[in-house]
Amino acid sequence: MLKAAIVGMGRWGRVLVDSVQGKNDAPLRFVSGCTGTPEKARDYAAAKGIRLLDGYDAVLADKEVEAVVLATPHGQHAAQVIAAAQAGKHVFVEKPFTLAKADAEAAVGACRAAGRVMALGHNRRFLPATAMMKQMLADGTLGTLLHVEGNFSGSGARNYKPGMWRADRAESPLGGMGGMGIHMVDMIINLAGRFREVTVQSHAQVSETIDDTTAMLARLESGATVGFTTLALTATFWRVGLFGTSGVLVQQGLEQLTWTPVEGEGWVKTFPKTDIEAAELAAFARACAGGAAYPLPVEEAIHGVAVFEAMIGAAASGSTYAVA
């Protein structure tokens, strides 16, 4: 049983805790934690059996804690990962990993130097539908991949008010990219490989805080093109499509997969709902115990940050940016 601390007990920190805490089959248990507004978390922490500590330094000094789970603002991640590694703790960090490739490389380097596991919370990698998409692309069922279409949108910006960290453009460049779109970038990397270059349009049509409309046209190293959109003021929507010379494979929502071949009969498959937060934390715990490697290589985590950084530059300049 991996003993962990939760750092950040806002909405998403609690989702992570609730996915494993008190469940007999979970290989991870939260024993302590800290948050920026402890008065709001005191009752919750007590109910979950979590010792609420006075700040991150106290968490890192806690000898019972073997790993930290970071559900904190994006801009804090790099320094927090490095400090945890230097304190001998394994690290699970929420997305976006960092906002600059150099910071991501420094964080990964610190974990490697300390011999600690670092895992990034792209939970869609744990979907059975995603595993089938990856297999069908790898085994040639789709033929040659021509194009990838992605859309991850929602209504989060409706609740953003000035002063909230997610409403800060420094923390949420390109609007929905930080909370939503970075998941789709990772999905595309996972399925189809590395990005070569990006062109981006991003602006606020309605929102008074962050961009509500962000669209990217990109090319992958394989030569396939990408069309991607994240909207921060619409209904929740998830779709990723692979367009190959032998057919089209589309995941719409997290459990439905549709195959439309050039020849022959297509199909629609519906998968059971998966607790992807519990799955990612379990995979992290197994990796920390010396089991199977966490199924998101750190090189791909760094590349995802490089794509995000290139998107920010491309949007600001109105030009096409190479992904470093």
pLDDT in tens, 194-207: 999 999 999 999 99
- Which residue segment(s) compose the domain that 57 sits in? 2-123
Based on the fold, state whether residues 138 and 234 are members of the same structural domain. yes
- Percentage of the chain modeled with pLDDT above 90: 92
Based on the fold, state whether residues 183 and 73 are members of the same structural domain. no
Based on the fold, state whether residues 152 and 207 are members of the same structural domain. yes
* pLDDT surpasses 80 at 254: yes
**pLDDT value at residue 159:** 84
pLDDT in tens, 274-301: 999 999 999 999 999 999 999 999 999 9
Based on the fold, state whether residues 28 and 168 are members of the same structural domain. no
**pLDDT value at residue 101:** 97
> How many domains does the chain divide into?
2
pLDDT in tens, 16-75: 999 999 998 999 999 999 999 999 999 999 999 999 999 999 999 999 999 999 999 989
Based on the fold, state whether residues 201 and 265 are members of the same structural domain. yes
Residue 206: CATH number of its domain: 3.30.360.10
* pLDDT surpasses 90 at 169: no
Q: Which stretches within the chain are classed as H helix?
A: 11-20, 38-47, 56-61, 77-86, 101-114, 128-138, 181-192, 276-288, 298-317
For the chain, the average pLDDT equals 96
Pick the last residue of a domain from 105, 123, 141: 123
**pLDDT value at residue 208:** 87
Going by their DSSP bridges, the two strands 118-120 and 51-52 should be labelled as unpaired
Based on the fold, state whether residues 84 and 99 are members of the same structural domain. yes
* pLDDT surpasses 80 at 167: no
Name residues whose C-beta falls within 8 Å of residue 318's C-beta, 6 or more positions apart in sequence: none
Name residues whose C-beta falls within 8 Å of residue 200's C-beta, 6 or more positions apart in sequence: 174, 214, 215, 216, 217, 311, 314, 315
pTM as predicted? 0.95
